[in-house]
Structure formats: structure tokens, C-alpha cells
């Protein structure tokens, strides 16, 4: 893995940031799709919410489904199902058409998360995330809070599914 030194911050902390990993560092297989670690950002903005009043910074962990024939087949099936849903919506209205089909990346990536641990015993919790979407069909990212404390020297990510 390539690492860079985190720039010195005003509070005195220095932590390494992993900026890349082997091309396909597979951390899970979910719904028949291999899922790779796609990166970590130790300095992501977190907006205050009803469940997290702190705001400030947190940790964003990203995953991607490994693209191949299976993901392509699922994408094609989804696009056909979505087009049929749009046609039903136009013909019979939204209520009669039912729910829009779920993106296949959502089914495979939603269960893949991480357990975040540091050398100071900080209790991290999942605050928010996003999974799949037009243009990001096989991507997911999860935001954990709080921001790593000043004295933390090591951050460990354990796969959780």
C-alpha cells in the first residue's frame, strides 16, 4: 500500500493516510460480487444531523464492486427493469407502477461496511453513507465519527458484513 504522511495539523497530530491499495484488494464477496477497498479519507466533512450533533470531521471509507461480466449482466437487467418501470409510471401513474427497481450495486454493497479501531480506544460509529447511483453504480462510501483524536497513531479497518 502507498502511504503519505498527513500534513501537520494545528493540534499536533500526524497520521498516515492510505492513498491507494493493490488494484483489487478484495475485502468481501457480497451477493456474488467481489468488493474491493477503494480508499479512506481521514478528513471528510460531516454535517450535523439529528443523530450526530457534532459536525466537523470524520472518516470516509470507500468500497467498489469489481466490474466484470456479472456486474454488466446485472446492469443491463436493471436498465431494462427501470425502463419498464418508467413506461408503467407513464401509463398508469406512480402508485400503480410500484417501487423503482433497486440498483444491483445497492444489493451487493449495502451490507459491506467496516469496523474502525484506533490505538487510543476511540469508539467510532457509522454516521452516514451512500450506495450506488447513476454514474456510481458499483460504489459505496460510509462515514464514521468522530474524527480520529490528536494522539492516535494507528487506524485499523476491519471488514464487516
Whole-number Cα distances in Å, 74 to 19, 80, 141: 30, 10, 21
Determine phi and psi for 121, rounding to 5 degrees: 80, 20
Q: Are 110 and 33 in contact (CB under 8 A)?
A: no
Question: Does the global pTM surpass 0.75?
Answer: yes
Digit-by-digit pLDDT tens for the chain (161 residues) are 444 344 443 333 334 444 455 666 888 899 999 999 998 898 898 887 777 777 789 999 999 999 999 999 999 999 999 999 999 999 999 999 999 999 999 999 999 999 999 999 999 999 999 999 999 999 999 999 999 998 888 888 887 66
Write down the pLDDT at residue 43: 87
Q: Where are the domains of the chain?
A: 2-66+110-160
Q: Are 94 and 109 in contact (CB under 8 A)?
A: no
Write down the pLDDT at residue 161: 62
Rounded Cα gap, residues 148 and 33, in angstroms: 31
Q: Is 91 helix (H, G, I), strand (E, B) or coil?
A: helix
Grid cell listed for 126:
457509522
Write down the pLDDT at residue 27: 87
Rounded Cα gap, residues 30 and 34, in angstroms: 6
Amino acid at each position: 500500500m502507498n502511504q503519505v504522511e498527513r500534513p501537520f495539523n494545528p493540534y499536533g497530530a500526524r497520521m498516515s493516510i492510505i492513498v491507494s491499495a493493490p488494484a483489487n484488494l478484495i475485502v468481501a464477496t457480497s451477493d456474488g460480487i467481489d468488493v474491493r477497498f477503494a480508499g479512506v479519507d481521514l478528513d471528510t466533512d460531516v454535517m450535523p444531523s439529528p443523530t450526530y450533533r457534532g459536525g466537523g470531521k470524520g472518516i470516509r471509507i470507500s468500497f467498489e464492486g469489481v466490474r466484470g461480466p456479472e456486474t454488466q449482466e446485472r446492469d443491463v437487467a436493471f436498465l431494462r427493469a427501470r425502463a419498464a418501470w418508467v413506461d408503467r409510471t407513464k401509463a398508469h401513474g406512480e402508485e400503480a407502477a410500484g417501487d423503482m427497481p433497486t440498483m444491483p450495486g445497492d444489493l451487493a454493497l449495502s451490507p459491506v461496511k467496516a469496523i474502525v479501531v484506533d490505538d487510543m480506544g476511540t469508539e467510532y460509529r457509522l454516521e452516514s453513507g451512500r450506495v450506488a447511483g447513476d454514474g456510481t453504480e458499483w460504489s459505496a462510501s460510509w462515514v464514521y465519527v468522530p474524527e480520529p483524536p490528536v494522539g492516535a497513531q494507528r487506524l485499523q479497518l476491519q471488514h464487516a458484513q
